[in-house]
Amino acid sequence: MQFIENIPLIVIAVCAVCGSVSDIRNFKVYNALTFPCFFAGILYHSATLGWGGLGYSLGGSLLGLAVLIIPYLMGGVGAGDVKFVMAIGTWLGPNLLLPSIVIGSIATGLYSLVLLTKTGGLRETWFNIQLMCLRLAVIGKSLRFDDDFETVQQVSRNENRRDRLIPFSALFSLGIVATFVIAWISGGELKVFGK
């Protein structure tokens, strides 16, 4: 019975490591990881906790979508990042997903500041912020959001794109680890779903 209760932690750890490695190496999180993780989370929690587990699992996934849909539409994160957070959300549920996203977003902001300092890309960053604001202002109009944000960024003169991209899923995984460490230090149990 102890092993069955630890399955979510094991799956989250494996998915976080795989997603992080993929995101750091290729700046992509593949469907081969996100879709099985998503459906396995729903099936596991439905089987072990019934309808309550299904609702909690779907709630985590929907929270991930709700938090990242605007950054995705503005070109700040990729579709793989959104699917990765939704997949992990089926395992974590909303209670642990939200602090993981917040901590991961703070890590992303700090990483961005380091990149700006390293590359001196303040002018390009200002251009990208203006582009994201324009996209947000015209949601529902003729601007298409299916274009690759990195392709739009090629307007910049900086040829080394790899130095400018941010591996959000890897930084989100740091948020997951930090959330579990904080829960452990504060004396909380590391159960994904309260039983």
Q: Which residues contact 167 (CB under 8 A, 6 or more apart)?
A: 20, 23, 24, 27
Q: Which of 2-6, 67-71, 115-119, 172-176 is predicted least confidently?
A: 2-6
Q: Which residues contact 147 (CB under 8 A, 6 or more apart)?
A: none
Between residues 73 and 33, the one the model is more confident about: 33
Q: Is the dihedral of CA 169, 172, 178, 183 positive or negative?
A: negative
Give the residue from 76, 152, 73, 145 showing the smallest Cα distance to 111.
76
Among 32-46, 115-129, 138-152, 181-195, which stretch is predicted with the lowest mean pLDDT? 138-152
Residue 155: its pLDDT value, please? Answer: 42
pLDDT tier at 8 (50, 70, 90 boundaries)? Answer: confident
Is the model's pTM score more than 0.85?
A: no
Model confidence over 20-48: pLDDT tens digits?
999 999 989 999 999 999 999 999 999 98
Supply the pLDDT for residue 141.
Answer: 55
Half-sphere exposure of 194 (CA within 13 A, CB side): 4
